[in-house]
Amino acid sequence: MPKLHFNRFLFACLFFIIQVPVCHLYAQSWNLVRDQDGIKIYTLKEAGKSLKSFKGIIDIPAPAQKVFAVIENVNDHAWWGANLSEVKVMIYEKNKRSRYYVEYRLPWPLSNRDLVVDVTVNADSLNQVYRTQANQLQSVVPLYPDKVRIPNYHQSWTVTPSAQGASQVILEGYADPSGNIPDWIINLAIVDTPVNMLRELRKRMENH
């Protein structure tokens, strides 16, 4: 094969190799799995993972800054969920960052799950876009023999103004509880998690 043709052939092969994973990545999309009580829940099957990510969207009749003040304050965590066994706030700097240890209560014979969560806050009051990004830290708290440490976790809240002084709230997340829980059970349960949290947030804002 002439050198010029060989170079063109090599370039075409490399282009194809590079494009295949990119096309596969863009093929992934959010699927609407529930639309009820003003809450929309989407799931996403990510490449290389057996578990799904979730995204919940709700409109709350309250200003964005006021809604975000409740979300951002990790010391006020009573509305997070009934399955929380313990929440220990380690660091809290308002509108900057936080860190906390959390333990999730699971029914017998499953072991409780725990993790340390590190949260960064981006509060852009000028453009009225408010966001938290939470990720797990593995080496801050030692492993406990009676608990299973969650190996992979991330979660974000985004609050923006919507019509007539209301706010749109988006909750996205992913959690791998590890251990002996079948993936199909986890993928069913991830729909309830954002529904319950968004519903409780709305109730809390109604009582403010």
User: Residues 52, 44: contact at Cβ < 8 Å?
Assistant: yes
Measured between alpha carbons, how far is 105 from 24 in angstroms, rounded to an integer?
37
Domain assignments of the chain as residue spans, ordered by start: 29-206
User: Residues 159, 56: contact at Cβ < 8 Å?
Assistant: no
Task: State phi, psi for 161 to the nearest 5 degrees.
Answer: -65, 145
> Residue 13 pLDDT > 80, yes or no?
no
Least confident piece of the model among 3-7, 15-19, 47-51, 58-62: 15-19
Least confident piece of the model among 37-51, 61-75, 136-150: 37-51
Residue 27 is predicted with a pLDDT of 46
pLDDT tens digits along 151-202? 999 999 999 999 888 999 999 999 988 877 777 778 777 888 899 999 999 9
Q: Which of the four pLDDT bands, split at 50, 70 and 90, describes residue 22?
A: very low
List of E strands, 7-111: 31-36, 39-45, 52-60, 84-93, 97-104
Q: Which of the four pLDDT bands, split at 50, 70 and 90, describes residue 7?
A: very low
User: Residues 120, 133: contact at Cβ < 8 Å?
Assistant: yes
User: Residues 135, 113: contact at Cβ < 8 Å?
Assistant: no
Residue 181 is predicted with a pLDDT of 79
Pick the CATH number of 29-206 from 3.40.50.2300, 3.50.50.60, 3.30.530.20, 3.40.630.30: 3.30.530.20
pTM for the structure as a whole: 0.83
| Residue burial 38-65, b: 16+ Cβ < 10 Å; e: rest | ebbbbbeeeeeeebbbbbbbbebebbbe
pLDDT tens digits along 87-143? 999 999 999 999 999 999 988 888 999 999 999 999 998 888 999 999 999 889 999
